[in-house]
Copies of this chain bind each other. A is one copy, B any other.
């Protein structure tokens, strides 16, 4: 595990200031957090936390993408969450990590030691409130994903995944075609997220290219050339 400790940009100018756990904090609270935080960075592929490990710090994702996943004894693995900018890692009040946390791309985290962070939850309602709000969102998206895993076809799964990525990373103009998008995951990681095999992911992606919905400039870089068709392919209600 990389232990690089970077310089700490000020909370006031932080890019995730308004969406992370600290979103509701007032200047005083922010100053207190400022003193507690440590930046850590991880290279793509590095494990950030192992399942079963003691929880020593919690963190916000400042940059990059991490995946939360669980692996069975025989190697089958399922991703149970994709952590993007401003998402929170860790479960205050719990002793251990339940799922592996792995950097999918290079990642920068804003970390807080568990103890002082829990103390802060206990006496600053702004943090606790925001945390509950974020956990509620997590729970909703986990349940949404259960529908995807249990009932959607491979094509619908891929379309839903791409649509979700775009909504999260480019909230502006959601129905417009998009250029220069980047897949933060390999085919295999996408497969693990969607409960498929990497071959099926590859075939569906190329199928959507044939159907004029996507076009690839590179294995990772692509454009959405027909957003309405992509949305229709998700199987979700309009």
Contact = CB atoms under 8 A, between A and B. Distances in A.
A210 to B, nearest CB: 24
A99 B133 contact: no
A237 interface: yes
Nearest to A195: B150
> Chain B CB within 10 Å — which of A73, A91, A146 has the most?
A146
Given A72-B235, A142-B143, A93 B149 contact: no
Interface residues of A, number: 42
Contacts of A237: 72-73
23 contacts: A68-B143, A70-B147, A72-B151, A72-B236, A77-B151, A80-B147, A91-B136, A93-B132, A93-B133, A99-B143, A128-B128, A132-B135, A135-B136, A135-B139, A139-B139, A139-B142, A142-B146, A145-B146, A146-B146, A146-B149, A149-B149, A149-B195, A151-B195
A-B interface, 4 closest residue pairs, ranked by CB to CB distance from nearest? A150-B195, A149-B149, A80-B143, A142-B142
